[in-house]
Chains A and B, each alone.
Chain A
């Protein structure tokens, strides 16, 4: 009986690392797309190290790729990063860390580490899930970014390889699991239409920011 917590801890770590491998791998596509968008290898790696939240990173390079002001890419990235605040609100009492531990843990608050910790029965298990998923995604995501960026750079004229279409594919793959109900799908369609309608009349990057208003209205109005 004494080794039961240890066996459970190992099982959680194994799951966490598996999530890290699966998620980290697609850092390859981030690195390649970032370089295709015009970032240097170092800039691609710095984005993964400092921002460390996939959808926001893809948003930043997506706006840069379409010729928009990089700062409107940053604004979009920050709006997408707001969901991590909400993860944090749930994780705070669960993990129970304060001081420097909380400050360090904050960087690892992402989709995957949240998913691996919110369903654990005890605080110890939650911490194990959080650290194993968050830590392994961090290491592999950054390694994969470097690999993808170096490989992407050696490909030369990336447009002809369809890497601009790859950005759209990446966004769609990130969106797909979130289209669970009718409201989500409706918000998705309306947001796309609003953004496209604004494209001819507003600076590049603005239409995406304006779509955030659709979420505000729909979230405030629905019951």
Chain B
């Protein structure tokens, strides 16, 4: 099942890139299309964060993951690079679990 998900996702993501390269540029003339394109990643990433940090299956649960996310916020405010942010989030959650 994971292999199917990877293959379909891979082919689909490539197709999305190729379709874009082949479309006429005037498509972007419509401002609402441009706005939806900008906001789509924001909406999806925000929802992914919320679910990743607060959901356990079909239940909502506050645990060490939230501490990890808050540590990531601090790292980002301090302009840490991507890898550092990820490592800080993991380390903070791991520390809480150890205590």
Contact = CB atoms under 8 A, between A and B. Distances in A.
Nearest to A49: B10
Interface string A67-85: 1011101101111111111
Given A81-B16, A216-B36, A168 B76 contact: no
Q: Which of A53, A67, A71, A172 gathers the greatest number of chain B CB atoms within 10 Å?
A: A172
Size bracket of the A interface: 35 or more
Interface of B: 1-14, 16-25, 27-28, 32, 34-55, 57-60, 64-65, 67-69, 71-73, 75-76, 81-83, 85-95, 97
A71 B17 contact: no
B8 to A, nearest CB: 5
Given A161-B94, A168-B72, A26 B86 contact: yes
A109 interface: yes
Interface string A130-157: 0000000000000000000000000000
B43 A215 contact: yes
A122 to B, nearest CB: 17
Is chain A's interface secondary structure helix, strand, loop, or mixed overall?
helix
A160 interface: yes
A66 B2 contact: no
Given A172-B85, A220-B36, A74 B43 contact: no
Contacts of A78: 9, 12-13, 16
B1 to A, nearest CB: 5
B68 A169 contact: yes
A191 B18 CA distance: 29
A7 interface: no
A179 B41 CA distance: 10
A55 B86 CA distance: 14
14 contacts: A29-B86, A51-B10, A53-B17, A82-B37, A92-B20, A106-B21, A168-B52, A169-B69, A170-B85, A171-B45, A184-B39, A187-B46, A196-B50, A199-B54
Contact of A192 (B10, B47, B86): B47
B89 A84 contact: no
Contacts of A79: 40, 44
B23 A74 contact: no
B20 A102 contact: no
Nearest to A219: B36
Contact of B9 (A60, A169, A183, A200): A60
A169 B85 contact: yes
